[in-house]
Structure 1
Amino acid sequence: MDMKVSPSRTGEGRIRPLPNLIFMSRWLQLPLYLGLILAQGVYVYHFWVELVDLIGAAMGNQAALEHVLTAVAVDGTARPTKLNETTIMLVVLGLIDVVMISNLLIMVIVGGYETFVSRMNLETHPDQPEWLSHVNASVLKVKLATAIIGISSIHLLKTFINANAYDAKTLIAQTVIHVVFLFSAMAIAASDRIMAGTNGTNKHSH
């Protein structure tokens, strides 16, 4: 009767020093993800500053109103003396923009760390994100492209609502950039689907 010897006993499962060093170099990305967490904190602070200014302007605080109008780039020659629907909409869109960028940061931090650094072992955690269960480099790339399109859409909508504060070149440039983002995401999704189909065909052929 043949006895199977485990790789750990024979040394076959051990990584040689140089490959192990190269593999361990993935931990150099850890400070990058920690830096993105700090950037997330800056966005949280910015969100609350904008929200406090909006609430202050709604209660008649002129200083808060000036901050709000400056933040949404309302033309100085026609500044309203109180909040109106357009200004509120622009501020709310700005808050939504911050939230969407924050969501993008979470996808990069959690998905990138899980994919390129180390497993987080969140399978049994009740708050595990649904998308994280099947994330890989290709899926993360498509999700990031989709998130960037959403952020670009918010910026474009803010520009169109407050079109008087921008010249025609700016409006055209932002529209073209948004279209480029859209086609880029479609190309990424299409190439990812082609690659997935090719890999599936190769597996079946073997």
Structure 2
Amino acid sequence: MEKQLERLLYATRWLLAPIYIGLSLALVALAVKFFQEIFHLIPHILETKETDLILVILSLIDMALVGGLLVMVMFSSYENFVSQIDIGEGQEKLGWLGKVDAGTLKNKVAASIVAISSIHLLKVFMNADNIESEKMYWYVIIHLTFVASAFAMGYLDKITRKGH
């Protein structure tokens, strides 16, 4: 009885696979939005102010970071919690694939969130004339919270890895 329960419990890890497929659909949606922004910008490039162009570029960078984060979470989580990804001989393999454990992934996600928040904060500062100072204050507080959280998570991970 115990062995069947353990096998069943172990097999339930496959319930995560459709979630990772859902994340790949989110990546498709992000790519569509990315190119929608590019196609919207191109016809108006000559009349676009430099500040507005920089804001659009920062949005594109933001989307690229989120896309990279999605890929990292999808593949690393799949390998850590579901099954190893078998890449055939002679096929291109991502250098970090199979090397990112759950703790490392958590730190990379935290660092990515800080990077994404930094870009968002830069966009806010570039548009500061149109934003209330109290809102600006809260944007900075939220960003600093992300930074402090990422630092604390990295520090705790470092302490726990030394203990092993």
Q: Which residue of 1 aligns with 2:11?
A: 24
Residue 147 (1) aligns with residue 100 (2):
no
Percent identity, please.
37
Find the aligned partners of 2:86 and 2:74 in 1 and give their Cα distance.
15
User: Which SS does the other structure have where 2:14 is aligned?
Assistant: helix
Q: Which residue of 2 aligns with 1:85?
A: 50
User: Which SS does the other structure have where 2:115 is aligned?
Assistant: helix
Query: CA 1:153/1:123 → structure 2, altered by over 3 Å: closer, same or farther?
Result: farther
What is the CA-CA distance between 1:124 and the residue it aligns to?
5.4
TM-score (norm 2): 0.94
Query: CA 1:125/1:146 → structure 2, altered by over 3 Å: closer, same or farther?
Result: farther
Letter in 2 for 1:55: I
Q: Which residue of 2 aligns with 1:115?
A: 80
CA contact (8 A) 2:84 2:98 kept: no
Find the aligned partners of 1:126 and 1:189 in 2 and give their Cα distance.
33
CA contact (8 A) 1:58 1:83 kept: yes
What is the CA-CA distance between 1:16 and the residue it aligns to?
1.5
Q: Which residue of 2 aligns with 1:132?
A: 97
Bigger-Rg structure (1/2): 1
Find the aligned partners of 2:88 and 2:139 in 1 and give their Cα distance.
41
Letter in 2 for 1:154: I
TM-score (norm 1): 0.75
What is the CA-CA distance between 1:126 and the residue it aligns to?
5.2
Deviations 1:24-53 (A, max 9, x none): 000111111111111100000000010001
Query: CA 1:101/1:125 → structure 2, altered by over 3 Å: closer, same or farther?
Result: farther
Q: How does 1:20-99 map to 2 (within 5 A)?
A: 20-58=7-45, 82-99=47-64
Find the aligned partners of 2:117 and 2:89 in 1 and give their Cα distance.
35
Letter in 2 for 1:24: A
Query: CA 1:46/1:123 → structure 2, altered by over 3 Å: closer, same or farther?
Result: same
Over the residues paired in the alignment, what is the CA RMSD in angstroms? 1.6
Find the aligned partners of 2:87 and 2:111 in 1 and give their Cα distance.
24
Q: Higher relative contact order at CA 8 Å, sep ≥6: structure 1 or structure 2? A: 2
Deviations 1:89-129 (A, max 9, x none): 00011111111110110011011111111111349565322
Gaps (5+ residues) in structure 1? Answer: 1-14, 60-81, 200-206
Corresponding pairs, count: 163
CA contact (8 A) 2:79 2:98 kept: no
Gaps (5+ residues) in structure 2? Answer: none
CA contact (8 A) 1:33 1:113 kept: yes
Find the aligned partners of 1:125 and 1:140 in 2 and give their Cα distance.
27
